[in-house]
Amino acid sequence: MRIVAKAIPTGAALGADIVDIDLSDELGADDLEAIKQAWAEHLVLRFRGQHLSDEDLLRFSRHFGPLDKAPINPYGTTWVPDNPEVNVISNILDDTGKRIGGLGDGECVWHADMTYNDDPVHACTLYAKEIPEIGGDTGFANMVAAYEALSDELKVRLTGMECKHDKTRNSTGQLRKGFEESYPDVSHVPGAVHPMVRRDPETGRCALYPGRRHNAYVLGLSVDESEALLDEIWAHVSKPEFAWTQHWQVDDLVMWDNRYCLHRRDAFSPDARRHMRRTQIGGDRPVAA
């Protein structure tokens, strides 16, 4: 009898391991259904011990929707020109001294990916090829649980509010190409505007959608009011009770729902090597609660 993939929850606010599956094989319909159900419930899935080529990673990712290309890197191209949907997150330099991927070895603060775009990515996968012995772990936080734990007063206050998500810097704080070092105040920083609370049109569930803290601005408020509200929200969403941390092993594949999760990464030694391959599943415009 064929064994169907099984989910084992982490026991934290989100995350589950999927076992009894080899993602280098074509997925059967029953396995795919089991994965989709577990993903809807746990928001982050981990598959350990996978041996995947870029083509395997792309084939697996496409089961969940059309893929977005990786963002353009500082060399003006994508990291894997033959497979532009593959993104590389790495601190490694090649023999000519060129970076093989982005984000270096620094800490990445809590954020959701590419919310500075009007149609931010729905989900991402991250596959570990090389990892440091210490550091470089990735934390995830459940924004559905964070919304549900808000006071009724704050839920009502945030409904209908919109926030601008900074386009100018990445999650390690580096300035993106073509943007100013500073702006008169946060209300002038370019970025996409999204609801503070987003609703899943299929299930009706609501989630906080804070994007990232740096340079965020709540529309319609003074800068001081916006800063105070965002400080309150970020103190709430970064509580450990909403989080789970992925301690990487080589050959781990993790996928997360970027609509309803935040993630962050610990810094690691510049002398260590970390090499991750990533894909981005395309999304659409967040729907307000």
Among 18, 265, 277, 280, binds ligand SIN (CB under 6 A): 265
Residue 102 beta carbon to ligand SIN: minimum distance, rounded to whole angstroms: 9
Q: CB-wise, 170 or 187, nearer to ligand SIN?
A: 170
Q: Does 34 bind ligand SIN (CB under 6 A)?
A: no
**CB contact set of 122 (below 8 Å; sequence gap of 6+):** 64, 65, 257, 258, 259, 281, 282, 283, 284
Closest CA to 256 of 106, 143, 166: 143
Q: Which of 238-243's residues contact partners 24+ apart within 8 Å by CB, and which partners?
A: 238/110, 238/141, 239/146, 241/13, 241/145, 241/149, 242/13, 242/14, 242/141, 242/142, 242/143, 242/145, 242/146, 242/149, 243/12, 243/13, 243/14, 243/139, 243/140, 243/141, 243/142
Window 98 to 127, contacts with ligand SIN (CB under 6 A): 103, 108, 113, 126
Task: Determine if 141 is a binding residue for ligand SIN (CB under 6 A).
Answer: no
- State yes or no: residue 281 binds ligand SIN (CB under 6 A): no
Q: How many CB atoms lie within 10 A of CB 257?
A: 26
Residue with CB nearest ligand SIN?
Answer: 138
Burial class (CB in 10 A: 0-12, 13-18, 19+), 233: buried
One character per residue 82-101, x = contact with ligand SIN (rule: CB under 6 A): -------x------------
Nearer to ligand SIN, 83 or 87 (CB): 87
Write down the least CB distance from residue 33 to ligand SIN, Å.
27
Q: Which is nearer to ligand SIN, 23 or 112 (CB)?
A: 112
Q: Is 165 in the site for ligand SIN (CB under 6 A)?
A: no
Residues numbered 225 to 244 that lie near ligand SIN (CB under 6 A) are none
DSSP E strands: which ranges in 101-210?
102-103, 108-111, 123-130, 138-142, 162-166, 191-195, 197-199, 206-208
CB of residue 126 to ligand SIN, shortest distance in Å: 6
Whole-number minimum distance, CB 83 to ligand SIN, in Å?
Answer: 18
* Residue ranges in 169-198 that form contacts with ligand SIN under rule CB under 6 A: 171
- C-alpha angle 136/124/26, rounded to 5°? 110
Q: How far is the CB of 115 from ligand SIN (least distance, A)?
A: 12
When the beta carbons of 93 and 156 are compared against ligand SIN, the nearer one is: 93
Minimum distance from residue 108 beta carbon to ligand SIN (Å) = 4
Query: Are 27 and 3 in contact, with CB atoms under 8 Å apart?
Result: no
Site size toward ligand SIN, by CB under 6 A: 10
When binding is defined by CB under 6 A, the residue of 78, 138, 142, 238 that contacts ligand SIN is: 138
Residues whose CB is less than 8 angstroms from the CB of residue 74 and which lie 6 or more positions away in sequence, other chains included: 99, 102, 177
By beta-carbon proximity to ligand SIN, the closer residue of 226 and 279 is 279
Binding stretches for ligand SIN (CB under 6 A): 89, 103, 108, 113, 126, 138, 171, 263, 265, 276
